């Protein structure tokens, strides 16, 4: 156990490994849909008691949560690879990267990768996932827009934020988008959102756990195309359902209850993947 990284309950490190473990469990339970070898490898290197999480992920609620996290990653990778088909030398930029390593699986394995997150997160990422010659880790709060100066977008860039913008204020997300219109025309930004009901049901417990009690000005939208298009005439906004917008989930391992919850998520809680094309 000496060569393993010890994770203490209730720490910032634990908040990073829980979504990582969810992706691992999704790969275990739905291998024909999703696999994340890096998540499995990292979890095996941790000194952490996963027994309680294991019990939870045998329940329908947590099983769907693992599926939800995996679908988000699949959606993001779809949009990244779609952009790279027309911009094969573009950079991939992961906003609020955490332990997300899916950028390494996208493109032609030559694309530059930029990861942006807080100092302690980047330090843990480098310890657990190592460094890659084509990666640049940028230590920054996303709301400090100077991080954009370090991104090489000469050949284009696709930016993605998975499970990140929920924690930002609406004005912060808008500021990020508007700054991108200045610096990165021809590039793409992809992120996930939820609507009002989805926010109340899915985020309230999480946010309170982190001591955040003011929900009113955090970022969510019931109609991303309508709400975000007014921000600038230099953006083109589109969206798809988070759970079923990219994949129909018609697999033997996907239960009827999973598809029911997926429909509720997309259509009632307005779980969406939003794509913003930054126009010239």
- Domain assignments of the chain as residue spans, ordered by start: 5-278
Contact 62, 69 (CB under 8 A): no
pLDDT (tens digit per residue) in 131-154? 889 999 999 999 999 999 999 999
Q: Is residue 7's pLDDT more than 70?
A: yes
The lowest-confidence range among 9-18, 36-45, 145-154, 263-272 is: 9-18
Dist CA 142 CA 236 (whole Å):
22
Q: Is residue 1's pLDDT more than 60?
A: no
pLDDT (tens digit per residue) in 196-210? 988 887 666 665 655
Cα end-to-end distance, the chain, whole Å? 54
Mean pLDDT of the chain: 92
Mean pLDDT for the stretch of residues 216-224 = 88
Output the pLDDT for position 18: 87
Write the class of the CATH domain 5-278: alpha beta
Helices and strands, number each (H, E), in the chain: 10, 9
């Amino acid at each position: 156990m000496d060569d393993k990284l010890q994770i203490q309950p209730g720490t910032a490190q634990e908040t990073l490994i829980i979504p990582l473990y969810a992706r691992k469990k999704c790969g275990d339970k739905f291998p024909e849909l999703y696999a994340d070898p890096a998540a499995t490898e990292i979890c095996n290197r941790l000194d952490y008691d996963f027994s309680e999480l294991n019990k939870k992920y045998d329940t329908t609620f947590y099983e769907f949560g693992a599926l939800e996290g995996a679908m988000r990653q699949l959606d993001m990778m779809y949009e990244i690879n779609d952009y790279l088909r027309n911009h094969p030398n573009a950079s991939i930029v992961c906003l609020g990267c955490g332990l997300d390593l899916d950028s390494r699986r996208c493109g032609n394995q030559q694309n530059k990768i930029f990861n942006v997150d807080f100092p302690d997160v980047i330090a843990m990422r480098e310890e657990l996932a190592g460094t890659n010659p084509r990666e640049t880790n940028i230590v920054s709060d996303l709301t400090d827009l100077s991080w954009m100066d370090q991104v090489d977008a000469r050949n284009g860039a696709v930016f993605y934020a998975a499970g990140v913008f929920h924690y930002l204020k609406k004005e912060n997300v808008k500021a990020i988008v508007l700054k991108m219109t200045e610096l990165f025309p021809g590039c793409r930004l992809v992120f996930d959102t939820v609507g009002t009901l989805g926010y109340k049901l899915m985020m309230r417990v999480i946010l309170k756990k982190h001591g955040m009690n003011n929900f009113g000005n955090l970022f969510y939208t019931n109609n991303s195309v309508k709400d975000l298009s007014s921000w600038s005439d230099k953006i083109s906004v589109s969206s798809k359902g988070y759970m079923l917008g990219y994949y129909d989930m018609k697999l033997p391992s996907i239960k009827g209850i999973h598809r029911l919850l997926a429909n509720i998520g997309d259509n009632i809680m307005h779980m969406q993947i939003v794509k913003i094309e930054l126009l010239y």
